[in-house]
Structure 1
Amino acid sequence: MTLLQFFLDIGLGLLLGALGGLFGIGGGLLAIPALGLLFGLDQQLAQGTALVMVVPNVLLALRRYHQRNRIDWRHALLLGFSSFCLAWVGAGIAVGLDAEAMRRGFVAFLLALAAWNLTQVYLRAGAGSPVLNRPWPWLGMLGSGSGLVGGLFGVGGAVVATPVLTLAFGVSQVVAQGLALALAAPSTAVALATYGIHGQVDWATGIPLAIGGLLSIGWGVKLAHALPQPLLRGLFSLFLLLCAALLGVKA
């Protein structure tokens, strides 16, 4: 890798980190299609490399969200533990699947999530509550399902948990994103370890992306708390559609 390429990767990481902070997903969702298009990585290698950036970004973003909206650590630990247990399973399945089938499945997954989130914009007129409207043990089921999907697609499960938390648990978008980051923290670490063991990580590309992401993720978190909640939810839906479209370009 040349010095120029190193700084270009940091620049890309800056953009991905800011978006990851804004939407509470660590930047991996956009990094995966970007790595496929710009670097020619196949689906598994793109997912594993994106996780190099996602893991530290998620931890920093979680701290920033907690500073602005105190996260109940009882909820965070339940989400994190249940997600951790199933992430091993999802990541173990992913590394053995056909890369093209994984790409098609990921596109379908993103389109379904975008449709669900756009529906929420119309179903939920209010900004949401800072507290759960369901008993907190239900979070264990959410963590398990999100961890499985996060390990399978290398996105940490936050992208799944956020819309479920707003729709089924009635919390605001920023509270949901903070809790989703708590869920994603252990499962992303598990997924990165699994991809790394199977040789599905390009560390030379992933490390400068992580540096850039750490420098910018706080900007995204600040913007997320400044935007109206319905607007933030709508932007999140459009972001999912963009990621699906970029990944679909390789079809």
Structure 2
Amino acid sequence: MDFVLSLSGTWPLLLMALPLGAALGFLGGLFGIGSGIVAIPMLVAGFGMSQPQAQGTALVLMVPNLLLGWHRYQQRHPLPWRAVLPMMISASLTTWLLAHFANTLDPRWLRGIFCIFLSLLAINLLRRRHRPPVSEKPLDHRLIPLVGVLGGCSMGLLGIGGGLLASPLLSGWLGQRQTTAQGLSLALVAPSSLVALLAYADAGRVDWSLGLPLAAGGILTVSAGVALAHRLPERRLRTAFAVMLLIAALWLWNGTA
């Protein structure tokens, strides 16, 4: 009888979470993100989760998509392990430390930091819309671990943003082509997202009953989002992404004020 009651409570959750996960997966594929940027405000404002719980649960959705994306990217654009490994190690260690720190913060402070991060990121994207592409420079391997530390700080503290920080640093500061920057960013965020998930789960900040069906729905639609992204103008996509970030920040702030 208890098992039947458990199933009766599970099916409505599945019927709600699967299409939500599918929508988030599509947006993740469309904008080249791990979906957490939209999922976290939705979980806080729409489901009443605390900020740390939302960040931990959103990582369940993000991890399989990021690991799959990294694997596929490596198949098409393999990168030297001399560049990848130091960044992965520095990012993973920083993520682990900051994730444990994030779970000790007041959720209101963490939510405020998250909103500010989204807003600043959106403003930076809008400013970079008309910037011409840079010519590639030799990769400075001495600075790669620093990129990992900065990306790991964002992944651990906020559960998102490692690639969104790393990609502009690699393409602008270190002068890498966009494809190289994206490949290195995926090498940073894919293992870091897994480390962050383990840290949040260890602190009891993951709702697996919601996160797993969200992840299942997301996996089904990521490829469709990627396919559409390749047919749309890059500048228009960047603008739409920046506007979405601002809306998510306002929704999160107003929905929980």
TM-score, scaled relative to structure 1: 0.89
Answer whether contact 1:86 1:144 (CA < 8 A) is retained.
yes
Task: Map 1:53-92 onto structure 2 (within 5 A).
Answer: 53-92=61-100
Report the counterpart of residue 150 of structure 1 in structure 2.
155
Q: 1:145 to 1:185 in 2, by over 3 A?
A: same
Answer whether contact 2:13 2:210 (CA < 8 A) is retained.
no
Distance in 2 between residues matched to 1:185 and 1:87, nearest whole Å: 12
For 1:247, the aligned partner's letter is L
Distance in 2 between residues matched to 1:103 and 1:80, nearest whole Å: 27
Shift of 1:115: 1.3
Report the counterpart of residue 249 of structure 2 in structure 1.
244
Correspondence for 1:140 among 136, 140, 145: 145
Shift of 1:89: 1.3
TM-score, scaled relative to structure 2: 0.87
Shift of 1:95: 0.3
Distance in 2 between residues matched to 1:50 and 1:95, nearest whole Å: 15
Task: Map 1:32-111 onto structure 2 (within 5 A).
Answer: 32-111=40-119
Task: Map 1:224-239 onto structure 2 (within 5 A).
Answer: 224-239=229-244
Distance in 2 between residues matched to 1:69 and 1:228, nearest whole Å: 22
Report the counterpart of residue 117 of structure 1 in structure 2.
125
For structure 2, the 5+ residue unaligned runs are 1-8
Answer whether contact 1:117 1:163 (CA < 8 A) is retained.
no
Partner of 1:26, secondary structure, is coil
Q: 1:140 to 1:42 in 2, by over 3 A?
A: same
Shift of 1:132: 5.0
The alignment's C-alpha RMSD in Å is 2.2
Distance in 2 between residues matched to 1:24 and 1:37, nearest whole Å: 23
Distance in 1 between residues matched to 2:132 and 2:144, nearest whole Å: 24
Shift of 1:181: 1.9
Q: Using the aligned pairs only, state the percent identity.
A: 43
Shift of 1:42: 0.7
Distance in 2 between residues matched to 1:171 and 1:228, nearest whole Å: 21
Correspondence for 2:182 among 177, 181, 186: 177
217-226 or 100-109, which deviates more: 217-226
For 1:121, the aligned partner's letter is R
**What is the CA deviation profile of residues 41-75 of structure 1, one whole-angstrom value per residue up to 9, with x for unaligned ones?**
01000001001111111111223334554445443
Answer whether contact 1:61 1:218 (CA < 8 A) is retained.
no
